[in-house]
Structure 1
Amino acid sequence: MTAPLVDYPFGPFAPRPENPVLRPGRHDWESANVYNPAAIVADGRIALVYRAHADDIVSNLGLAWSDDGITFSTEPDPVMVPSEDYERYGCEDPRVVFVDGTYYLTYTGWDRHSARLCLATSTDLRRWDKHGPMFPGINTFAGVRETPGPEWSKGGVILPEPIDGRYLMWFGEGNIHLATSDDLLHWKADPTPVLRPEPGTFMGDLVETGPQPIRTRTGHVLLMHNSAVIQPDGGVYYACGQVLIDPRRPDVVVAKLTEPWLEPSTYEDQHGLVSNVTFVEGLVFHRGTWFAYYGQSDTTIGVATYTPEES
């Protein structure tokens, strides 16, 4: 079923009572935590490409399948493992789109010094060709706070339909930036942020991209994002927002939610490896319903759904 055009604000989404829909422990390599999944519909089923690790916290990417969006079976082996120096301590936080027979997956390569946004491609979601870090020298935390290394970039979300012959991607943790491409493989980043933290709001200390952007009924681009506030005790509180962008001016936000559409509300959302986190990275339309998949406190995976009324 083709996804319908959406309105802004998008939703309302409600967390499912069946949550978590995926827990750790099915395989040794994902024995401790599973979270922050990309999502896409493939062959009539929902596929999650999800982050997972054992107690060593070295992340691999796994693949899970569902017919109904709630009950998942997982493949026994990871589909991506650290193989390069820049990702030797983890392949993390994927996002995925499908364009002209190819899956384009962005993920974070982590070496415990710098986080680098990387790109990989596949035709079957199982075998991936890595294309390396996308933005050498960029630090999306510039002006927000110090990072362990001079480079820092995460969270590339690609609009799968080109605008005026070029593809658009928003990326970043700390601030969110825009990048453009003619071929989906080579990207040019704008050094000026599109979205910055807003002290005193749920976007107070950082913003980071969510799932892939989608088009609205008015032709605008809807970008869901994750935002954090640092608590007085040093912990964090992650909630999810939405902004609206003019595709002819993709570096300009024209509207934003002032309240989150998803935030920690259940035990799993509030307790885990990093507590008080709802971190959305996957969004699909399947059998008349929108499914938004999110990491719950970096430990389990939940889903919130929205079924639009027929018009």
Structure 2
Amino acid sequence: MIRKYKNNPIIKPGDIKNENDELEVFGVFNPGATKYKDKIILLLRVALKPREENGWIKVLIADKESNYKLKILKWKKRKSLRVESNDIRFIDINDQRYLSSLSVFYLAWSNDGLNFSFSEKPVFQPADDYEVFGIEDPRITKINDNYFITYTAVSENGFCAALASTKDFISFDRIGIIFPPENKDVALFPKKINKKYYALHRPTNSFIGKPSIWISESENLIHWGNHRILLTPLRKKWERMKIGAGPEPILTEQGWLVLYHSCGDNEVYSMNAILLDRNLPDKIIGRTDQPLLVPEFKYEKAGVVQNVVFSNGWISYGNKILIYYGAADKYIALAEASIYSLISLIKRY
């Protein structure tokens, strides 16, 4: 039902221009997607890290003291330096946790959805205290004449959900934090429902329960309330660990089509779907009982993080959907499906 593009991945780290010789592009993945004028726009998450140097440990941050310019912190390797790293994504140095890479957003555009041109430098990068460790996983939702971008802001104080907007993808207005730590995977509905805005989001459970998808309401996209849980992980091998929202929901004749990611046994990520009532978006009317998209190929199984397919951007053309997804936290790949075929795989309640 979902056809992966035969020439995947369509975007690789080597496609991104990097003028700083001290940094390398660690990965390009998890893009937000939208249509702008006659083009397909992707907002790319580009992970940067310092190049390795014998005898030194390095991390990259956005430095508060220099108006959030990117800065490499360095420690000389020695016995007194306490270093722990049980995960490729972070490192603990003298009891302070840092990310092993810092993400910024580049812009990509295409006429056909396959062949992209890229900005020569980031169009959106860390700019406040909540983004010192980077910005991640943008989702783009067009509401009236504005394109709203939700993203994860990361700092030493945790990760939280932030909001920005643009009309032209040249200048951006930061609106601020909309969900405090620890929260991410915020997907806005593209229109008001019953005179209110709605958002899906994913708080993190660290003590009890499994990370699940919540839904909330707002009158202004800034202040959110009436929080309630929408969807919890199935006790199945493909999603028993956690779930989170994917791209913005798409309104169909059958209801709101929602793509979401699951993390299951051995930390394998897959993509799944639910269908929500068009007038009551907190009412689930159907859910897939098997994954729609799973890691199959080398570019999805081997990269920065193994066995990951993760989408937070898709484009609909009538009945056709282009699904842009991150593969192994290193590449961007493309899959295609029809709305009808996706809905046909959803089991109604």
Residue 193 of structure 1: aligned partner: 229
CA contact (8 A) 1:41 1:286 kept: no
Aligned to 1:31, which of 15, 25, 31? 25
Structure 2 letter corresponding to 1:279? F
Residue 252 of structure 2: aligned partner: 216
Residue 136 of structure 2: aligned partner: 92
Residue 3 of structure 1: aligned partner: none
Question: How do residues 253-272 of structure 1 correspond to structure 2 at under 5 angstroms?
Answer: 253-272=284-303
Identity %, equivalent residues: 29
Per mean C-alpha deviation after superposition, the further-off stretch among 89-98 and 242-251 is: 242-251
1:136-189: CA deviations, max 9, x gaps?
3xxxxxxxxxxxxxx211111111121111111111152111111223333225
Say if 1:287 and 1:76 are closer, same or farther in 2 by CA, change over 3 A: farther
Q: Which runs of 5+ in 1 are unaligned?
A: 1-11, 137-150
Residue 282 of structure 1: aligned partner: 313
Residue 188 of structure 2: aligned partner: 158
Moved over 4 A (4+): none
For the pair shown, the structure with the greater C-alpha radius of gyration is 2
Query: Relative contact order (alpha carbons < 8 A, sep ≥ 6): 1 or 2 greater?
Result: 1
Say if 1:294 and 1:180 are closer, same or farther in 2 by CA, change over 3 A: same
1:182 and 2:213 equivalent? no
CA distance in 2, matches of 1:197, 1:30: 36
User: Which secondary structure state, in structure 2, belongs to the residue aligned with residue 59 of structure 1?
Assistant: strand
CA distance in 1, matches of 2:291, 2:221: 31
Alpha-carbon deviation of 1:75?
0.7
* Aligned Cα root-mean-square deviation (Å): 1.8
Alpha-carbon deviation of 1:221?
1.1
1:81-121: CA deviations, max 9, x gaps?
11111111111000011122111000000115411010001
Alpha-carbon deviation of 1:247?
3.5
CA distance in 2, matches of 1:281, 1:245: 18
Say if 1:184 and 1:276 are closer, same or farther in 2 by CA, change over 3 A: same
Per mean C-alpha deviation after superposition, the further-off stretch among 248-257 and 174-183 is: 248-257
CA contact (8 A) 2:31 2:42 kept: yes
Aligned residues: 278
TM-score normalised by length of structure 1: 0.85
CA distance in 1, matches of 2:197, 2:24: 34
Alpha-carbon deviation of 1:306?
2.1
User: Which secondary structure state, in structure 2, belongs to the residue aligned with residue 160 of structure 1?
Assistant: coil
Structure 1 letter corresponding to 2:200? W
CA contact (8 A) 2:130 2:157 kept: no
Alpha-carbon deviation of 1:208?
0.5
Say if 1:287 and 1:259 are closer, same or farther in 2 by CA, change over 3 A: closer
1:214-247: CA deviations, max 9, x gaps?
11212x111110000141xxxx100000011123
Residue 294 of structure 1: aligned partner: 325
CA contact (8 A) 1:18 1:70 kept: no
Alpha-carbon deviation of 1:288?
6.9
CA distance in 2, matches of 1:126, 1:30: 25
CA distance in 1, matches of 2:337, 2:134: 32
1:227 and 2:227 equivalent? no
Q: Which runs of 5+ in 2 are unaligned?
A: 50-59, 61-100, 204-210, 341-349
Say if 1:64 and 1:170 are closer, same or farther in 2 by CA, change over 3 A: same
Say if 1:166 and 1:154 are closer, same or farther in 2 by CA, change over 3 A: same
1:248 and 2:279 equivalent? yes
Per mean C-alpha deviation after superposition, the further-off stretch among 200-209 and 86-95 is: 200-209
Per mean C-alpha deviation after superposition, the further-off stretch among 278-287 and 77-86 is: 278-287
User: Which secondary structure state, in structure 2, belongs to the residue aligned with residue 269 of structure 1?
Assistant: helix
Alpha-carbon deviation of 1:131?
1.6
User: Which secondary structure state, in structure 2, belongs to the residue aligned with residue 268 of structure 1?
Assistant: helix
Structure 2 letter corresponding to 1:186? H
CA distance in 2, matches of 1:223, 1:166: 18
TM-score normalised by length of structure 2: 0.76
- Greater strand proportion: 2
Alpha-carbon deviation of 1:32?
1.8
CA contact (8 A) 2:251 2:257 kept: yes
